Amino acid sequence: MASGTVRIQVEDHVAIMTVSRPEKLNALDLDMLKALARAADEVEANADVRAAILTGEGKGFSAGGDIKAWGGMRPEEFGHAWVRYGHRVFERLATLRVPLIAALNGHALGGGLELAGVADIRIAEEHIKIGLPETGLGMVPGWSGTQRLVKRFGAQVVRRMALGGEIFTAEEARVLGIVDAVTSSGNVVDTAKEYARRVASRGPAALEIVKLMIASANGEDNGAAVEALGSILVAKTADLKEGVASFSEKRPAKFKGEW
């Protein structure tokens, strides 16, 4: 039996993904990682969705990786089945075609902060705490805490959390650029919905392309971003239509250089 799930609700072109394992403060095990991957695929495939929100059920956003899920793994299993798979899932979320907003209704520590880091925008409730406490357990951030978070928050901020063990309040995190806005407790999902509706009112194609362009400029997934942009452009050309038609009709293509 799965230990949790990710619920998806779509309203006004906004998909709300809710990590649901409240009895464990939405800590992630392999079942939860798989549920996140399925949720990302479902949102990606829904052409009606123009923006998405990621939040947690109950009092927590996500307590990060469930120690009971990985604590007994063999080193090679830990590296491959846990760290590398989690990386793939988080990358899937980070590269959603639509803008993603993290609504932090509870603490975002360790893997929870890495999960929040996949979002384009982060909104936090005023009571939450943020940090990367892994070295206090004798381990290191494994789901891009030293990679994506450095690109998005800056190396020095990550050093303070990962090396110094500093835990920031929501307001401190806002000043440091880790979160984009702080709201009162209990209101973060409504605030995220309002922001998401603003995003969803803008041109969907422009949003998708701008997200790819920003990722490329920030050094994130450069190859895929460039190839996606090129493919979108080429897909609209008359030359591509001619190439496909010539293949189907088993004749030489007559390209005219038409866009």
Residue 123 — very low, low, confident or very high, per pLDDT cuts 50/70/90?
Answer: very high
**Residue 3: pLDDT over 70:** no
Active site residue 208: no
**Model confidence, pTM:** 0.90
List the catalytic residue out of 114, 125, 208, 220.
114
Q: Catalytic site residue 23?
A: no
Average pLDDT, the chain: 91
Of 57, 125, 134, 220, which residue is the catalytic one?
134
CA distances from 193 to 17, 54, 99, 156, 226 (A): 12, 11, 12, 31, 30
pLDDT at position 120 over 90: yes
Q: What is residue 77's predicted lDDT score, i.e. its pLDDT?
A: 76
Q: What percent of the chain has pLDDT over 90?
A: 66
Angle, nearest 10°, between helix axes 222-235 and 204-217? 150
Give the mean pLDDT of 219-241: 81
Residue 1 banded pLDDT, cuts 50, 70, 90 = very low
- Alpha carbon 189 to its chain centroid, in Å, reads 16
Separation between Cα atoms, residue 76 and residue 64, nearest integer Å: 21
How many C-beta neighbours within 10 Å does residue 203 have? 10
Out of 29-33, 82-86, 134-138, pick the least confident.
82-86
Q: Is the pLDDT of residue 244 over 70?
A: yes
| 239, pLDDT greater than 80 | yes
Average of pLDDT values for 191-205?
97
Contact 143, 109 (CB under 8 A): no
